[in-house]
């Protein structure tokens, strides 16, 4: 029994939310919430520990009995044991990251949603960053020491080789320019600095530079107006180009992924040294993204030897820093534990957004939670409330794990199932820890608020659980046109259909077919033959531009995978992944643009060393440390193999190309480039028969000469497949005509399939050309043919929709409806 001594009042059956924090309850805001929703009781528990102590300690900080009836728990560091919280469904973390709770049982072994309070930390972090730059530039630490020594004077000259100077016209490079980066940009701009912004995707227009994510009102750079120059790209090469600009201050603010692990090491500090600017280095990224030994080395070299003139580290590796660690004594670097935005009044600014998932799911109308202010016009007199109004685009979702990290996520990250929701202006990351767990809700990644406008939710009974409400809200939707896919064909179709005001919905999938949204082009480097880009364009950049254009015209994009379709009658039925047991969604027409996936040889040992030396994407994985300055092999003889081999020459010491026949299938220009490269050796009439390793990583490849039959071991540390693709037709191959290789058959000269109302575009039906431009062209065809079909049917529609039986024809001609067409 929880007593008044713990909570200050008795717990009743109305309790849903429990907040546990290391500061006293912000009573004004809590009482306002309780008054607004008397049916939902919010309880508060004060953890009598310093936030740092909570961060470092293991074990319980909140009595288990408090969790008996709790469905939503708001916390900083502590997650309860699963058995103590049988009704718990959401944990709202009072921070932007979740690294500190990722080892808890509740996080690892349950399907309870985890949300974060993104966007609330910006002002404090920005002040901390610029404050350290000012402190270093104006010798505040020296002045403090002089005062202790009772020393008078103002001529400090050059301290540790650093002359005193102001910040006007100094270049600050912010990598990357997200919510915190934009806060830093604003403050830096106010001090006269030249702000240079780096983002994963290009921002060529004023509209593309806007950020609709949550931001504390009156702060940040929501319109992207402060940078004097924007940079973008995927991979270390682009990062190195950014560093080569030569900044006076470099700020690192990227998420921790497999690819950003130790992102900044010797090579990167050497580049900074080569620029001659002797930059001040700031790291506010979480986790071991910077190699501490190399950072310390550059600091000790100092400006006299071209190293860093100083650093400010919000995060170090390891944490906590051991007392005997040499970094404590490195010059020009103050150390402290991670900056927590917990001083008043920021505490309420953290707690209020953390509570918004409750409002988001139980009370969809913004006005029901925060009365007195229209959600698009927050009152200047209520700054805390103003922070809570919806302004965020839920595109931040997939930014997290599925597509918009600085680097393309590795397949290791695919076990996470991120779903993005916008909680009344605060974009939150909802993570399912295991693939087998059900997806409770998918969210639109294109709408500006993604918030329903009515309250209460129709069809919800008071007896439904929160999980039921989350699930129910996403059922039984009907659309005129559904596009399945995420490549050039899908987005071209989406652009044409959206312009025709057919409101298409595009399911881009989450790692569908083992590929990130964007399809094969996300694994391509320079695209030199797509019209409109005379200097070429990076594949991922091209796909991001297409995606932005789709959204601009009104396409609704959902980062969920369609797992099953029923084409037996119209409207067609379909189900999302992990939701196959739920009622289906329906559509009048479907455009299938699922593309094709890379083939594998399934060699002995391949499964053991897959992603541990073996990959099907050189662009994705070629730059990782295990491949650098090592011999590598590519299997294949076409343009893709040539392109991947040439790409790998940037990193490998030597690249072998294994070609089954006695000549390359690649185009003349690519074959010439490949054969003339000094790092490339082409092995004709050669096949691979086995992969070998040391138990952890690939070390060699057994190859066989197809003429002599002789075998030998080729010492390589990386193997990359470039042997073609397999059409992604598993969804439909038993319901429509496909050829012997699995490609969808279409009526010659059209994108019509053997099922009326289903159109196929892109590589799923094209085994001959397989080019981005032809895929885009077929996407246009599919959209125009789909639009024509729906227009014809609409002209004959009755008042009520009529189910239409659809029969599969074997002659490749779309059948005629036997009854009145559906609406």
What phi and psi values does residue 127 have, to the nearest 5 degrees? -65, -40
Distance between CA atoms of 170 and 192, rounded to whole angstroms? 8
Asked if residues 397 and 445 have their Cβ atoms less than 8 Å apart, the reply is yes
Whether the upstream peptide bond of residue 318 has omega within 30° of 0, thus cis, is yes
What phi and psi values does residue 120 have, to the nearest 5 degrees? -85, -15
Distance between CA atoms of 28 and 46, rounded to whole angstroms? 16
DSSP 304: G
CB burial of 335-361 (b: ≥16 within 10 Å; e: otherwise) equals eeebebbbeeebbbbbbbbbbbbbbbb
Distance between CA atoms of 638 and 121, rounded to whole angstroms? 49
In 3D, which of 566, 599, 540 has the Cα closest to residue 755?
566
CB burial of 153-164 (b: ≥16 within 10 Å; e: otherwise) equals eeeeeebeebee
In SS3 terms, 605-631 reads as CHHHHECCCEECCHHHHCCCHHHCCCE
Helix (H, G, I), strand (E, B) or coil at 522: helix
H-helix or E-strand spanning residue 281: strand 280-283
Sign of CA dihedral 316, 320, 326, 331: positive
In 3D, which of 43, 99, 106 has the Cα closest to residue 76?
99
DSSP string, 30-63: HHHHHHH-TTSEEEEEE--S-HHHHHH--S-SS-
Asked if residues 648 and 627 have their Cβ atoms less than 8 Å apart, the reply is yes
Alpha helices, H only, 721-816: 772-795
Asked if residues 138 and 156 have their Cβ atoms less than 8 Å apart, the reply is no
CA angle 79, 85, 88 (to 5 degrees): 85
Distance between CA atoms of 505 and 481, rounded to whole angstroms? 7
DSSP 752: B
Sign of CA dihedral 359, 67, 419, 29: positive
Which residue shows structure tokens 């991979």?
Answer: 235
- Residue 546 tokens read as 């297409």
Ordered strands of the 227-232 beta sheet: 227-232, 194-199, 171-175, 249-252, 280-283, 310-313
Length of the chain: 823
What phi and psi values does residue 538 have, to the nearest 5 degrees? -65, 140
DSSP string, 755-773: STTEEE-GGGT-SS---HH
Strands 569-570 and 804-805: antiparallel
| Biggest alpha carbon–alpha carbon distance for the chain | 98
Q: How many CA atoms lie within 13 A of 761 on its CB side?
A: 32
Distance between CA atoms of 697 and 719, rounded to whole angstroms? 11
Asked if residues 279 and 252 have their Cβ atoms less than 8 Å apart, the reply is no
Distance between CA atoms of 696 and 290, rounded to whole angstroms? 24
805 φ/ψ sector (left φ>0, alpha ψ -120 to 50, else beta): beta
Which residues are identified as catalytic?
617, 620-621
Asked if residues 650 and 237 have their Cβ atoms less than 8 Å apart, the reply is yes
In 3D, which of 172, 185, 39, 79 has the Cα closest to residue 126?
185
DSSP 26: -
Distance between CA atoms of 193 and 168, rounded to whole angstroms? 5
């Amino acid at each position: 029994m929880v007593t008044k001594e713990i909570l200050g009042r008795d717990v009743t059956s109305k309790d849903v939310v429990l907040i546990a924090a290391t500061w006293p309850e912000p009573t004004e805001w809590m009482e306002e919430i309780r008054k607004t929703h008397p049916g939902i009781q919010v309880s508060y528990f004060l953890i009598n520990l310093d936030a740092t102590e909570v961060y470092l300690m293991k074990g319980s900080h909140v009595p288990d009995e408090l969790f008996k009836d709790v469905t939503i728990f708001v916390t900083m560091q502590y997650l309860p044991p699963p058995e103590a919280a049988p009704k718990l469904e959401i944990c709202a973390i009072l921070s932007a990251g979740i690294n500190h709770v990722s080892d808890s049982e509740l996080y690892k072994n349950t399907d309870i949603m985890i949300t974060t309070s993104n966007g609330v930390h910006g002002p404090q972090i920005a002040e901390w960053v610029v404050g350290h730059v000012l402190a270093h530039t104006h010798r505040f630490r020296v002045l403090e020491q002089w005062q202790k020594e009772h020393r008078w004077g103002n001529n400090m000259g050059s301290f540790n080789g650093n002359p005193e100077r102001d910040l006007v016209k100094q270049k600050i490079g912010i990598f990357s320019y997200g919510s915190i980066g934009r806060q830093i940009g604003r403050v830096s701009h106010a001090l006269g600095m030249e702000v240079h912004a780096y983002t994963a995707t290009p921002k060529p227009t004023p509209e593309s530079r806007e950020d609709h994510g949550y931001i504390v009102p009156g702060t940040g750079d929501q319109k992207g107006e402060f940078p004097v120059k924007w940079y973008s790209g995927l991979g270390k090469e682009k990062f190195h180009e950014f560093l080569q600009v030569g900044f006076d201050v470099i700020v690192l603010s990227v998420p921790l992924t497999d690819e950003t692990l130790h992102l900044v090491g010797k090579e990167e500090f050497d580049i900074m040294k080569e620029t001659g600017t002797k930059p001040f280095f700031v790291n506010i990224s979480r986790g071991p993204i910077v190699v501490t030994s190399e950072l310390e080395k550059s600091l000790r070299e100092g400006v006299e030897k071209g190293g860093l003139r100083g650093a400010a580290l919000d995060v170090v590796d390891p944490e906590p820093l051991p007392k005997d660690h040499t970094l404590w004594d490195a010059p020009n670097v103050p150390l402290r534990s991670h900056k927590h935005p917990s001083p008043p009044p920021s505490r309420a600014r953290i707690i209020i957004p953390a509570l918004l998932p409750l409002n988001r799911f139980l009370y969809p109308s913004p006005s029901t939670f925060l009365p007195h202010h229209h959600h698009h016009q927050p009152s200047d007199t209520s700054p805390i409330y103003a922070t809570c109004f919806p302004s965020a685009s839920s595109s931040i979702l997939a930014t997290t794990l599925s597509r918009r990290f600085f680097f393309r996520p590795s397949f290791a990250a695919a076990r996470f199932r991120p779903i993005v929701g916008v909680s009344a202006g605060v974009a939150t990351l909802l993570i399912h820890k295991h693939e087998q767990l059900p997806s409770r809700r998918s969210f639109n990644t294109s709408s500006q608020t993604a918030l329903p406008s009515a309250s209460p939710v129709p069809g919800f009974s008071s007896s439904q659980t929160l999980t039921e409400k989350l699930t129910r809200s996403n059922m039984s939707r009907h659309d005129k046109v559904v596009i399945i896919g995420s490549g050039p064909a899908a987005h071209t179709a989406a652009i044409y259909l959206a312009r025709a005001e057919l409101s298409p919905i595009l399911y881009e999938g989450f790692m569908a077919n083992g590929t990130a949204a964007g399809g094969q082009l996300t694994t391509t480097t320079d695209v030199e033959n797509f019209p409109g880009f005379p200097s070429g364009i990076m594949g991922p950049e091209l796909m991001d531009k297409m995606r932005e254009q789709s959204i601009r015209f009104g396409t609704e994009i959902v980062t969920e995978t369609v797992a099953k379709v029923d084409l037996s009658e119209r409207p067609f039925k379909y189900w999302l992944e992990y939701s196959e047991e739920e009622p289906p969604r329906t559509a009048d027409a479907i455009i299938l643009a699922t593309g094709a996936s890379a083939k594998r040889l399934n060699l002995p040992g391949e499964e053991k060393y897959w992603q541990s030396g073996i990959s099907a994407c050189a662009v994705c994985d070629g730059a990782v440390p295990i491949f650098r300055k090592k011999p590598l092999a590519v299997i294949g003889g076409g343009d893709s193999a040539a392109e991947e081999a040439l790409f790998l020459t940037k990193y490998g010491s030597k690249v072998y190309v294994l070609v089954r026949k006695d000549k390359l299938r690649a185009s003349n220009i690519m074959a010439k480039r490949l054969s003339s490269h000094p790092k490339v050796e082409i092995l004709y009439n050669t096949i691979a028969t086995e992969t070998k390793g040391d138990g952890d990583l690939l070390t060699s490849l057994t190859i066989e000469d197809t003429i002599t039959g002789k075998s030998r071991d080729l010492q390589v540390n990386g193997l990359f497949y470039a042997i073609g693709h397999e059409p992604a037709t598993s969804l439909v191959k038993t319901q429509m005509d496909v050829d012997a290789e699995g490609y969808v058959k279409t009526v010659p000269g059209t994108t019509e399939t053997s099922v009326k109302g289903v159109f196929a575009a892109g590589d799923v039906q094209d085994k001959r050309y397989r080019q981005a431009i032809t895929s885009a062209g077929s996407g246009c065809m599919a959209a125009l043919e789909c639009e024509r079909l729906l227009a014809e049917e609409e002209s004959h529609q009755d008042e009520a929709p009529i189910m239409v039986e659809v029969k599969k024809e074997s002659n490749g001609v779309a059948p005629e409806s036997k009854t009145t067409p559906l609406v």
